[in-house]
Each structure stands twice: as C-alpha cells, then as structure tokens.
Amino acid sequence: MSNDIHNKSFSELIKGDTPVLVDFYADWCAPCRMMPPILKELKSRMGEQIHILKIDTEKNPDVAIRYQVRGIPTLILFRHGHVIWQQAGVMQAPQLEGVIRDILARYKEMAG
C-alpha cells in the first residue's frame, strides 16, 4: 500500500476519486478471518482501481455506527464520499470483483 493512503484520514480517503472498499471486522469474528486472503486476491485483480481498508469495529465503534454496520464482516464501497454498495457476509474475490465492477460501471453512467 502506498504511503499517501496511510497519511490520509478515513474521511479524506473515502472522498477521493479512487473507490474505497472498507472491510468492517472484529478479531473475535471467525468469518472475518476469512476476508484477508480474499481482499488480497481482490487487490491483485483490481490493482490501483481500488483502495482496500480494514476497520476494526471494536476499536472504531463510532465509524461502524455511522455507517449502520450491524453484522460483521460488512463490506462498504465508497466513492466521492458516498456509500455506493454495502453487504454483510463473506464473498469470494471473483464474485466481489464482479459486483464492484458492475457498481462502478453504473455509478460512472449516473455521474455522466
């Protein structure tokens, strides 16, 4: 991950042009532990087209509450500061990539 990502706040990151997929998780959550290799594969498939962040809901309950995260893992895709997709549960990388590409294509059409 590049340093510019680490130097930006969460709110700055999600407002950018590059879509940001946020994985809300907790260390005690068994399904959450399945996500890191899936997200790593997704990043290798999509490269610089997407940023991926992980947010521990135990350490950042305010962010989880703000985005109404009720179950974990929850994945939320942000673009220009807006939630453009959200889903709870584990998804495999190819399925996740397909959903994200579809959402981004639709988002691009709406943005004109």
CATH code of 70's domain? 3.40.30.10
**20, 32, 38, 50: which is the annotated catalytic residue?**
32
Whether 96 is catalytic is no
Give the C-alpha separation, 74 to 65, whole Å.
12
pTM: 0.90
pLDDT > 90? residue 23: yes
Q: Is residue 7 domain-resident?
A: no
Q: What is the mean pLDDT of residues 74-88?
A: 96
β-strand partners of 88: 74
The number of distinct structural domains making up the chain is: 1
Whether 29 is catalytic is yes
Q: Is residue 55 domain-resident?
A: yes
β-strand partners of 48: none
Q: What is the mean pLDDT of residues 47-72?
A: 95
β-strand partners of 62: none
**29, 84, 90, 103: which is the annotated catalytic residue?**
29
Instruction: Calculate Rg over the CA atoms of the chain.
Output: 13
Sheet of 74-79, strands arranged across = 51-56, 20-25, 74-79, 82-88
Q: Residue 2 has what pLDDT?
A: 40
Q: Residue 35 has what pLDDT?
A: 97
pLDDT > 50? residue 58: yes
C-alpha 80, offset from chain centre: 13
Mean pLDDT estimate for the chain: 91
Q: Residue 8 has what pLDDT?
A: 76
DSSP letter, residue 84 = E
Read off the tokens for 26.
Answer: 């907790």
Domain range for 45 is: 14-111
